[in-house]
Each structure stands twice: as C-alpha cells, then as structure tokens.
Amino acid sequence: MTGITARVHELDLYRQYFDLVAAGRKSVEVRVKYPHLADLAAGDVIRFRIKGTAETVDVRVTRVNEYPTFEALLDGEGPENVNPTAPRAQQLANIRSIYGPEKEALGALALSITRVMAGQRPPSG
C-alpha cells in the first residue's frame, strides 16, 4: 500500500548499545512498557541518539513483543540478540541497573530492529 508513512520515534541509547546497533550486531532492544511506547509497531522507525550528542542511528522496528519481566524477555528473545558481547546474567544485571523494580513491574518490551542503511532514507515525520 502506498501513501503510508511510518512514524519516527526518538530514543536515547547508551554508547555501548548504540555501537552494537550501529554495527548491526544488536537485533533486539529492551525497553520498559511505558505508556509513551505503547503505540510502537512493526514498520516504525526509531532514531537512537546518544544523549547530549548529535550521533544518531536509525532502525526499523520489525516486531514488538511484550514480556512480564526482563528475565522472561531474555529467555524469549535470546540474550545473544540483546547483547552479543555479554553473558545472560550480566545482561540481566545491566538491564536491572538501568530500570529498577518499579519500572520492570510495568512490563518489558522487546523491539526487534534492523538498521536502516545509508540510501534507505527513513520517512520523515
């Protein structure tokens, strides 16, 4: 169908995860199920930015899965897709250091992503 423009969401990302996304090595992004992310859907574009910099990388969302906990998310998605450079236990500790128990209680989102390469201009919007 033509004439449909994907939405672009801007989200901050820590340098270590940004570099994995930019290199195409990270295929699943973990987020808390905040209300402002409830409308994320396959086909949307996320522009990740390292906070306080002009560095960005664009990805297309290919799938959104919801999980009750970060542990369930890692089991369901495979830790190698979330961070191929760290073992599962370390990833779980890292995620929980970013998001406390009150955030995890909101639920977890697994965003399957694929990098938008140069020449594949994401939609503006």
Structure confidence at residue 1 (pLDDT) = 46
Structure confidence at residue 125 (pLDDT) = 46
State the residue range of the domain holding 84. 8-113
CA distance 90 to 88: 5
CATH number where 93 lies: 2.30.130.30
pTM recorded for the entire structure:
0.88
pLDDT in tens, 69-88: 999 999 999 999 999 999 99
122 part of a folded domain: no
121 part of a folded domain: no
Mean pLDDT (whole number) for 84-111? 97
To the nearest 10 degrees (0 to 180), the angle between helices 70-77 and 88-98 is 140
44 part of a folded domain: yes
Looking at the structure of the chain, the number of domains it has is: 1
Q: Which two tokens stand for residue 32?
A: 């808390």
**Residue 6 — very low, low, confident or very high, per pLDDT cuts 50/70/90?**
confident
- The sign of the dihedral angle between the CA atoms of 10, 23, 50, 65 is positive
26 part of a folded domain: yes
124 part of a folded domain: no
